[in-house]
Amino acid sequence: MRPWSKVPAWWSDEIALLRGGAHAGRSQAMLRVVFALATMTPTANTYTVVSSVSELMERTGLSRPMVRQALVDVEARGWIRHKPGGGKLKSEYTLACPHFEAEKDGYYYKIPNKEVVKNLPKISRRGEKALAALKIYAVLLIVRPNQARISSINVENLRNRAAVQWTSLRDGLSILATHGMIVVDKAPGDDGEYVKNQYVIKGDIVREIPA
């Protein structure tokens, strides 16, 4: 398995529009399916995956009906393009972005394959807290510079971009840290004091440069 894969970098509005409440499970399923498809891309130079629903069930921890519904939902939002396989053939899915041609424009973020494959199915598939965790994770991946391990974003901005309540923000960060997907650390403030949060993305997502 490659250490990381690319995902087209949607605008933050795409994440903010994912609804909670009675829609939390369905919203969460959409993020799970996109993350899972990204980890299954055969090379770092393609957004296209050939997969079955059964394989996506294993990668996401979702039931078959939830995976199928999520695929319909993300295609409707323009997050993927779907080419049905027919018969016993697997379907083809291409990660996309409704705002630009991802393959040509090159705007992307990295997702750590090993950590997502291992830990995503362990996160609860229900409730506002789990949805908040996945929305926060998506925002942290998007704002992180591709050559750094750290996402530096203040909590107000993070909450606004993920569109979560304060309590859900705390709970979501705790879920991500507990499941080994991020480390919440402190960064020096302008006065030299350690007052700002910074978020270390777990996984091999930065190409090391020899000294």
Q: Residue 104 has what pLDDT?
A: 64
Task: State pLDDT tens for residues 158-208.
Answer: 999 999 999 999 999 999 999 999 999 877 666 666 567 899 999 988 754
Q: Reduced to 3 states, what is the DSSP secondary structure of residue 60?
A: helix
Averaged pLDDT, groups of 10, the chain, 211 residues long: 88 84 95 96 91 96 96 94 83 86 73 96 94 96 88 92 94 97 82 75 70 34
Looking at residue 102, its pLDDT comes to 59
Long-range contacts of the stretch 191-199 (C-beta < 8 A, 24+): 196/152, 196/154, 197/154, 197/155, 198/150, 198/151, 198/152, 199/140, 199/150, 199/151, 199/152, 199/153, 199/173
What pLDDT is stored for residue 65 in this prediction? 97
Specify the pLDDT at position 211: 34
